């Protein structure tokens, strides 16, 4: 990656700033100029930005997250769709976790905090995205890795759902059997009658083609079905819906 940065430093990188605040964008133009950074005449809105990108073909676009009359997020999506070769970097205030995820899903290659980041960090971010990297503060990196972990867990359950013989309710009951609860205790936990629980247990044994509860639990463990159902429900309602629909089809 150091070689990539060296190549980047050996040539000029063209940068376009998009910011509604005239003083701020004019200041950025002056301070960002360096041996390897050429800063184009800035844009104040979406219309100007699209025109200047067509005319000047910048490598990097810096987008203020607080554009006055346009959605910075919508603009980032449009640039990603219409000019996929242009690297978009957004600068702004700290966002919610979902906010960061949404922004990177819109095609951003970098994000930087305007209240705590230095000019040197901004210049380094520009060079990093040109070199093919994703550049963002540690706080944003943490959020993105957390989201990736969540997606991996959701994918794990979606894949399992296609192979499960049991309904979500039956898996839930099997979880409780694995924890050592008897039928009456399971009914009390799930607010179901003893008769209903017995019916579910009978169906579980029948579907898994086993005669004992312990064998059903062993089978489910071997198939890796028995992750905490409470954890699965906390991931996303869509996963539960997917499991249910998949098994009913």
Cα distances (angstroms) measured from residue 228 to each of 34, 50, 175, 179, 182 = 55, 49, 7, 11, 18
pLDDT digits (tens, 9 = 90+) for 168-186: 788 888 889 988 899 999 9
Residue 8 included in any domain: yes
**Res. 102 pLDDT band, cuts 50 70 90:** confident
- Phi first, then psi: what are they for 193, rounded to 5°? -70, 160
Q: Within this chain, do residues 20 and 132 fall inside the same structural domain, yes or no?
A: yes
Position 17 scores a pLDDT of 95
Q: Within this chain, do residues 109 and 14 fall inside the same structural domain, yes or no?
A: yes
Q: Residue 38 is part of a domain; what is its CATH number?
A: 3.40.50.2300
Residue 144 included in any domain: no
Q: Within this chain, do residues 39 and 113 fall inside the same structural domain, yes or no?
A: yes
Residue 147 included in any domain: no
Residue 34 included in any domain: yes
Q: Within this chain, do residues 168 and 123 fall inside the same structural domain, yes or no?
A: no
Q: What range defines the domain where residue 177 resides?
A: 152-248
Residue 214 included in any domain: yes
Q: Within this chain, do residues 8 and 87 fall inside the same structural domain, yes or no?
A: yes
Distance CA(77)–CA(61), nearest Å, equals 13
Q: 139, 166, 201 — which closes off a domain?
A: 139
Q: How many CB atoms lie within 10 A of CB 102?
A: 15
Cα distances (angstroms) measured from residue 19 to each of 3, 86, 101, 205, 211 = 32, 17, 22, 64, 69
Q: Within this chain, do residues 121 and 196 fall inside the same structural domain, yes or no?
A: no
Q: Within this chain, do residues 173 and 124 fall inside the same structural domain, yes or no?
A: no
Sorted by sequence, the CB contacts under 8 Å of residue 179 that are 6+ apart come out as none
Q: Within this chain, do residues 126 and 191 fall inside the same structural domain, yes or no?
A: no
Q: Within this chain, do residues 97 and 216 fall inside the same structural domain, yes or no?
A: no
Position 238 scores a pLDDT of 41
The angle subtended at Cα 41 by Cα 37 and Cα 46, nearest 5°, is: 115
Distance CA(99)–CA(78), nearest Å, equals 18
Position 236 scores a pLDDT of 42
The angle subtended at Cα 25 by Cα 97 and Cα 14, nearest 5°, is: 90
Burial of 24 (0-12, 13-18, 19+ CB in 10 A): middle
Residue 181 included in any domain: yes
Q: Within this chain, do residues 68 and 175 fall inside the same structural domain, yes or no?
A: no
| Complete DSSP assignment for 19-52 | -S-HHHHHHHHHHH--SSEEEPPPBSSHHHHHHH
Position 235 scores a pLDDT of 41
Residue 159 included in any domain: yes
pLDDT digits (tens, 9 = 90+) for 48-89: 999 999 999 999 999 998 887 668 888 999 999 999 999 999
> Worst-scoring range by mean pLDDT, 9-13, 28-32, 137-141?
9-13
pLDDT digits (tens, 9 = 90+) for 191-237: 999 999 999 999 999 988 899 998 888 888 877 777 654 444 444 44
- Phi first, then psi: what are they for 118, rounded to 5°? -95, 165
End-to-end CA distance of the chain: 49
The number of folded domains in the chain is: 2
Q: How far is CA 125 from the centre of its chain?
A: 20
Q: 108, 139, 170 — which closes off a domain?
A: 139
Q: Within this chain, do residues 123 and 23 fall inside the same structural domain, yes or no?
A: yes
Q: Residue 228 is part of a domain; what is its CATH number?
A: 1.10.10.10
Q: Within this chain, do residues 130 and 174 fall inside the same structural domain, yes or no?
A: no
CB–CB of 129/107 below 8 Å?
no
Q: 112, 139, 166 — which closes off a domain?
A: 139
Distance CA(21)–CA(42), nearest Å, equals 11
Sorted by sequence, the CB contacts under 8 Å of residue 85 that are 6+ apart come out as 59
| pLDDT (mean) for 235-244 | 41
């Amino acid at each position: 990656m150091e070689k990539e940065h060296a190549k980047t430093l050996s040539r000029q990188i063209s940068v376009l700033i998009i910011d509604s605040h005239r003083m701020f964008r004019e200041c950025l133009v002056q301070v960002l100029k360096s041996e390897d950074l050429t800063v184009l005449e800035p844009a104040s809105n979406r219309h100007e930005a699209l025109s200047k990108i067509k005319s000047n073909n910048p490598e990097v676009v810096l987008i203020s997250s607080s554009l006055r009359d346009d959605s910075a997020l919508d603009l980032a999506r449009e640039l990603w769709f219409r000019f996929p070769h242009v690297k978009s970097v957004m600068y702004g205030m700290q966002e919610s976790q979902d906010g960061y995820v949404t922004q990177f899903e819109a095609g951003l290659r970098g994000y930087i905090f305007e209240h705590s980041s230095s000019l040197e960090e901004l210049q380094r971010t520009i060079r990093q995205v040109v070199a093919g990297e994703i550049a963002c503060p540690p706080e944003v990196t943490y959020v993105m890795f957390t989201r990736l972990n969540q997606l991996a867990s959701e994918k794990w359950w979606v894949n399992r759902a296609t192979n499960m013989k049991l309904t979500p309710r039956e898996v839930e009951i099997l979880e409780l059997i694995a924890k050592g609860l008897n039928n009456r205790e399971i009914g009390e936990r799930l607010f179901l009658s003893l008769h209903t629980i017995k019916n579910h247990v009978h169906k579980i044994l029948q579907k898994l083609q086993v005669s004992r509860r312990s064998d059903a639990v062993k089978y489910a463990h071997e198939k890796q079905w028995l992750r905490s159902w409470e954890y699965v429900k906390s991931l996303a309602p869509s996963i539960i819906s997917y499991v249910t629909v998949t098994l009913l089809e």
